[in-house]
């Protein structure tokens, strides 16, 4: 802000920004508020309780779904984040960037139901083809490769999360000066060593953020997973089926709030961590500069 | 050594190959499957335009057009509410804090879309948060019943679900706009409206366009929005596709998907020809 600008205009703009964030979050905050009410939604009297959260953790179906969701989130992160790093490195050196961007970011623009439907039919056809090839080769090894289940849900989630991880890693990589790699290579380091010892420490915050985003996105995803999962349930599919069958029960409010708390805690931790880290780096830089300054 | 080098180079192509096989190919094949013959539980190779005829000569077309109209309204509202935030963050927030402020808009986005949309029901319904607040403040004497289970509910859901994207894409686009431009314009006596209309909007056009396409396409494609907030009559392309899959009419589901893809890629191609959409990632290069 320049010295001649109206400070109230600046404050009003900040207030507007925070108002929009609060409005975007208000439905979630309201659900959290209701989840602690013993009498549930719309009751005249508000009595604080943690009972509904206790119910979630004693629900076997829910705990089973949580297990599946966590497994999916972990295996998706293991593939998505290295893919995002590889893709970002490829993008930086690619001659024709349009196609790389197009391929990696297009899933953002394709609605979940449309992509889920396309992938569902693709896997079913792929499965038919593999069974046919297996029959022709007199082997049944390939019969279940793309049967709807964990693997197909996993592939769907990788495609869903890659654009987000790619953008996060690419933005972090944008600040890295490639001359450092060139210098390391000139000193005799292998390509891997130059990446691991020089580049990776500098893009680590982006990689960590990409991991966190991927896990959260997997935890929250519903449409693609419900179409591609086959026989098992994830956290959101249980939640939605309960919501659709029984309406918003007190348990549904608690489940929704629980997932939201996890997501907010993860993002909050990332923001705090980057704040603390930048403070620490700043302090280190000031400490190094101090003898020179004096 | 040469082999290892080649393998290492090939590794960089892995994500692209994966996306080609499991994203581009299924999306492209929707056009092929949409002309297949429908069978009792599946479909078989053939050539028929029955699925398209089914779509274009029924109420589905009007529902699709209505969802496009509602999506357009959501795009305009998101632009009006969200883009000034991107400009403010770029212009007034110190450089070191800019990404953290933008991260604030990731916060609602990190909460499941399902939860956010479902959570709107108790907020918008007859005895929900909005009506209770309006009555408490004395603005209305009776609950407003025309919000939930109407197109208004769907538009509110779209705005609350997708607004962060216009902030993200707007912010990315604004990174390519030098800050001194604002000062130059002000020194030359241009009004705020004129600065936006003649300078900022043309410079940030790629980001605005990308964000708008995202909102528009998801508005007509996310089935949950009309399903949960729109009531019995509200339908969009995503809902038509999922309903077709439930009814085991796979060619119709694929025809709807193909129509959506043509709409999406047509818009992206147009946008790229007009604004060169890769410039959104320019600061990251």
**Yes or no, beta carbons of A119 and B22 under 8 Å apart:** yes
**Yes or no, beta carbons of B268 and A109 under 8 Å apart:** yes
Cα separation, A42 vs B129, in Å, equals: 10
Interface test with B, best of A4, A118, A161 (most B CBs within 10 A): A118
Q: What is the pLDDT of residues A223-254, one digit of tens each?
A: 899 999 877 788 888 888 887 777 777 888 88
Q: Is the model's pLDDT at A273 over the cut of 90?
A: no
A244 alpha-carbon distance from chain centroid: 25
Give this complex's ipTM. Answer: 0.85
Cα separation, B101 vs B170, in Å, equals: 13
Identify all chain B residues contacting A85, using CB atoms and an 8 Å cutoff. Answer: none
CB nearest B100 (choices: A86, A243, A271):
A271
Residue A138 within a domain:
yes
**Yes or no, beta carbons of A26 and B123 under 8 Å apart:** yes
* Closest chain A C-alpha to B140 CA, distance in angstroms: 19
Which residue in B has a C-alpha nearest to residue A271's C-alpha?
Answer: B100
Segments forming the whole domain that contains residue A35: 7-49
Successive 10-residue mean pLDDT values, chain B, 285 residues? 73 94 95 93 92 94 93 96 92 81 79 82 85 88 86 92 90 83 87 88 88 92 88 86 91 94 90 79 52
Question: In terms of domains, do A42 and A71 share one?
Answer: no
CB nearest B11 (choices: A86, A124, A267):
A86
Closest CA to B62 of B214, B213, B236: B236
Question: In terms of domains, do A22 and A107 share one?
Answer: no
**Region of poorest pLDDT, from A34-43, A100-109, A196-205:** A34-43
Question: In terms of domains, do A134 and A259 share one?
Answer: yes
Regarding pTM above 0.90, the answer is no
Strand-pair category, B43-44 with B37-38:
antiparallel
Which residue in A has a C-alpha nearest to residue B221's C-alpha?
Answer: A111
A129 alpha-carbon distance from chain centroid: 33
Question: In terms of domains, do A116 and A201 share one?
Answer: yes
Determine contact, residues B167/B215, Cβ cutoff 8 Å.
no
CATH number of the CATH domain containing A199: 1.10.3720.10
Which pLDDT score, from 0 to 100, does residue A152 have?
95
Q: How confident is the model at residue A19 (pLDDT cuts 50, 70, 90)?
A: very high
Q: How many domains does chain A have?
A: 2
Which pLDDT score, from 0 to 100, does residue B1 have?
62
Q: Is the model's pLDDT at A166 over the cut of 60?
A: yes
Interface test with B, best of A28, A84, A117 (most B CBs within 10 A): A117
Per-domain residue ranges of chain B: 34-281
Task: Find residues 43-82 of chain A whose CB sits inside 8 Å of chain B.
Answer: none
With a CB cutoff of 8 Å and minimum separation 6, the contacts of A225 are A72, A153, A156, A157, A234, A236, A237
Identify all chain B residues contacting A103, using CB atoms and an 8 Å cutoff. Answer: 16, 19-20, 23-24
Which CATH code, of 3.30.2290.10, 2.40.70.10, 3.40.50.300, 1.10.3720.10, is assigned to B34-281? 1.10.3720.10
Question: In terms of domains, do A23 and A151 share one?
Answer: no
Determine contact, residues B285/A98, Cβ cutoff 8 Å.
no
Determine contact, residues B208/B79, Cβ cutoff 8 Å.
yes
**Yes or no, beta carbons of A113 and B221 under 8 Å apart:** yes
């Amino acid at each position: 802000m320049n010295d001649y600008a109206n400070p109230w205009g600046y404050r009003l703009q900040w207030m507007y920004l925070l108002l929009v964030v609060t409005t975007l979050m208000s439905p979630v905050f309201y659900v959290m508020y209701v989840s602690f009410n013993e009498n549930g939604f719309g009751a005249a009297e508000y009595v604080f309780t943690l009972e509904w959260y206790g119910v979630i953790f004693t629900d076997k179906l829910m705990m089973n779904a949580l297990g599946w969701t966590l497994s999916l989130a972990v295996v998706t992160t293991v593939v998505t984040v290295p893919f995002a790093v590889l893709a970002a490195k490829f993008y930086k050196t690619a001659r024709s960037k349009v196609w790389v961007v197009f391929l990696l970011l297009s899933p953002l623009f394709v609605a979940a139901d449309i992509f889920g439907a396309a992938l569902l039919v693709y896997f079913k056809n792929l499965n038919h083809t593999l069974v046919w090839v297996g029959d022709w080769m007199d082997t049944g090894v390939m019969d279940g490769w793309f049967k709807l289940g964990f693997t197909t849900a996993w592939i769907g989630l990788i495609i869903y999360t890659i654009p987000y991880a790619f953008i996060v890693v690419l933005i972090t990589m944008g600040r890295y000066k490639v001359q450092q790699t060139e210098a390391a290579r000139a000193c005799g380091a292998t390509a891997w060593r130059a990446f691991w010892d020089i580049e990776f420490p500098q893009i680590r915050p982006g990689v960590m953020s990409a991991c966190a985003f991927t896990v959260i996105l997997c935890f929250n995803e519903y449409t693609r997973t419900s179409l591609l999962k086959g026989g098992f349930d994830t956290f959101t599919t249980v939640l939605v089926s309960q919501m659709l069958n029984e309406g918003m029960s007190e348990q549904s409010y608690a489940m929704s709030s629980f997932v939201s708390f996890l997501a907010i805690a993860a993002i909050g931790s990332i923001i705090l961590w980057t704040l603390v880290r930048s403070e620490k780096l700043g302090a280190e830089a000031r400490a190094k500069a101090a003898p020179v300054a004096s | 050594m040469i082999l290892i080098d080649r393998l290492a180079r090939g590794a960089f192509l892995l994500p692209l190959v994966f996306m080609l096989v499991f994203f581009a190919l299924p999306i492209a094949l929707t056009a092929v499957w949409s002309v297949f013959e429908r069978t009792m539980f599946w479909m078989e190779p053939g050539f028929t335009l029955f699925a398209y005829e089914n779509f274009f000569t029924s109420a589905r077309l009007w529902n699709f057009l209505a969802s496009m109209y509602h999506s357009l309204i959501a795009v305009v509202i998101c632009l009006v509410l969200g883009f000034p935030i991107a400009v403010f963050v770029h212009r007034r927030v110190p450089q070191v804090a800019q990404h953290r402020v933008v991260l604030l808009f990731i916060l609602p986005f990190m909460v499941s879309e399902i939860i956010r949309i479902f959570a709107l029901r108790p907020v918008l319904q007859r005895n929900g948060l909005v009506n209770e607040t309006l009555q408490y403040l004395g603005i209305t004497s009776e609950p407003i019943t025309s919000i939930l289970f109407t197109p208004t509910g769907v538009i509110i859901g779209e705005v609350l679900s997708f607004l962060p994207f216009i902030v993200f894409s707007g912010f990315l686009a604004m990174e390519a706009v030098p800050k001194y431009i604002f000062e130059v314009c002000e020194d030359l006596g241009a009004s705020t409206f004129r600065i936006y209309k003649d300078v900022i909007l043309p410079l940030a056009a790629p980001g605005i366009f990308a964000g708008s396409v995202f909102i528009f396409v998801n508005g007509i494609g996310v089935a949950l929005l009309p399903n949960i907030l729109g009531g019995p009559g509200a339908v969009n392309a995503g809902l038509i596709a999922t309903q077709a899959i439930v009814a085991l009419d796979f060619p119709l589901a694929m025809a709807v998907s193909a129509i959506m893809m043509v709409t999406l890629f047509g818009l992206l191609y147009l946008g790229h020809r007009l604004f060169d959409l890769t410039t959104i990632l320019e600061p990251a290069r």
